[in-house]
Amino acid sequence: MAALIKLRHMPLVQRSVWNHFNKVSRNISTSKKNSDTATTACETKTEDKNWVSYGFDYTSKEEDTNAHHATFFFSVTLCIVFGGVCWAYSPDVHMRDWAQREAFLELRRREKAGLPPISPNFIDPKLIKLPDESELCDVEIII
């Protein structure tokens, strides 16, 4: 929308508007009048004289504006706004909600079956290799 409105700065649009108004208000006059000066053309020249750069290019106003629009679009609009929306509303990041649901279902199943929430022999005791008593005599026991 903003881009459509800003089309008024395009030289083509300005020229066609100027031509139209000239055709509509034709007059014959020999003396030089104030209304003869081309105001639309002057506007761009004074605008170009003291323009403040966005910081991307200090020589050409067009390049500077292009770079400004593009950089803000890619960084803010794409990465921050759209990326932020995707991050905020993405479902079940890293499958955590699924994991919690599965855990609750398992707990409910075990409760109904009368089992403890987790069995003491979760790992088969035959697979656990404990060190001998002789190796353990110096080791500090921290609970």
Nearer to other proteins by Cβ, of 91 and 116: the residue is: 91
3-state secondary structure of 132: coil
Pick out residues in 116-135 that bind other proteins (CB under 8 A).
none
* Token output for 64: 């500077």
Measured between alpha carbons, how far is 74 from 86 in angstroms, rounded to an integer? 15
> What b/e sequence results for 51-68 when a residue is b if at least 16 CB atoms lie within 10 Å of its CB, and e otherwise?
eeeeeeeeeebeebeebe
Size of the site for other proteins (CB under 8 A): 31
Q: Which of residues 77-96 bind other proteins (CB under 8 A)?
A: 78-80, 82-84, 86-88, 90-96
- Is residue 75 near other proteins by the rule CB under 8 A? yes
Closest CA to 113 of 103, 124, 105: 105
Helices (H), the chain: 2-5, 11-24, 39-49, 61-72, 83-89, 96-113
Nearer to other proteins, 15 or 84 (CB): 84
Q: Which stretch binds other proteins (CB under 8 A): 33-41, 55-63, 104-112, 114-122?
A: 55-63
Contact between 61 and other proteins per CB under 8 A? no
Q: Which is nearer to other proteins, 47 or 63 (CB)?
A: 63
Residue nearer to other proteins on the CB measure, 21 or 104: 104
Least CB distance from residue 32 to other proteins, whole Å? Answer: 42
